[in-house]
Amino acid sequence: MRILVISDLHANWPALEAILGAQAFDRVIVVGDLVSYGPHPREVVKWVWSHATVVVRGNHDDALACGTDCRCAPTSKPLATATRAVHRELLSLEDIQFLRSLPRTATLRSSDETFFAVHASPLNHLYRYTLTPRASDEHVRRQVGGVRADYVLLGHTHLPMVRSSGRRLVVNPGSVGQPRDGDPRASFAVIENGSVTLKRVAYDVGRTVRDLHRLPVSRAIVDQLSSILRAGR
């Protein structure tokens, strides 16, 4: 059984498309943030709705569907606010209801293994940014210690990571649509036969940038988003 784990798609269809073209899989787990920042919310939501085995809600999904504060970094908030307003117009009522219906956590059992999915942290489902590659072992243990699962799958930081904590593996696949670790390639994880592999694939960033220019947002917003996509940070 090959499981594809993806997170933080952020309405970047060319990035998701590149992953799908590079990797065959049996099941897919999406750990949140389908929307904000990118130019393709309809394509991304439609694909996830139709193909994902498990999907949980991210803070940007919650902000769009429920009108909450995304509580992202101050430097990112203008970008999120501008694109979220456009996405709300581009998505259908059914799309928005789909985002609203997503659970904050989910569990998948496959063969002898159990997968627990959450966007940010088991103790703070939508907003905690502290489960990073540099987090101490003790902090990771405090955050995931109450989860009964073989794998704890999460996203939110846009930083790929595989950490062990007791008998659990904590896996962040990184970001599909907006990597922030200095590598602009789309990031994802594959779990197969008890092994986790973090992977990257190049995609047509220029296509995403061109489509950003077609959105009814300011040139300053587009320039900032384009810079993030090209630099991967």
CATH code, domain carrying 114: 3.60.21.10
40-71 pLDDT, tens digit each: 999 999 999 999 999 999 999 999 999 999 99
pLDDT tens digit string along 197-227? Answer: 999 999 999 999 999 999 999 999 999 999 9
What average pLDDT is seen over the chain?
97
Q: Residue 147 pLDDT > 90, yes or no?
A: yes
pLDDT at 23: 80
Q: How many domains does the chain have?
A: 1
Q: What is the pTM of this model?
A: 0.97
Enclosing domain of residue 162 = 2-231
* pLDDT tens readout for residues 8-32: 999 999 999 999 999 899 999 999 9
Residue 117: partners with Cβ closer than 8 Å, 6 or more residues away: 29, 31, 54, 56, 105, 106, 107, 108, 153, 154
pLDDT in tens, 71-122: 999 999 999 999 999 999 999 999 999 999 999 999 999 889 999 999 999 9
- Give the whole-angstrom CA distance, residue 86 versus residue 195: 40
Q: How far apart are CA 142 and CA 163, in angstroms?
A: 13
What is the C-alpha separation between 197 and 4, in angstroms, rounded? 10
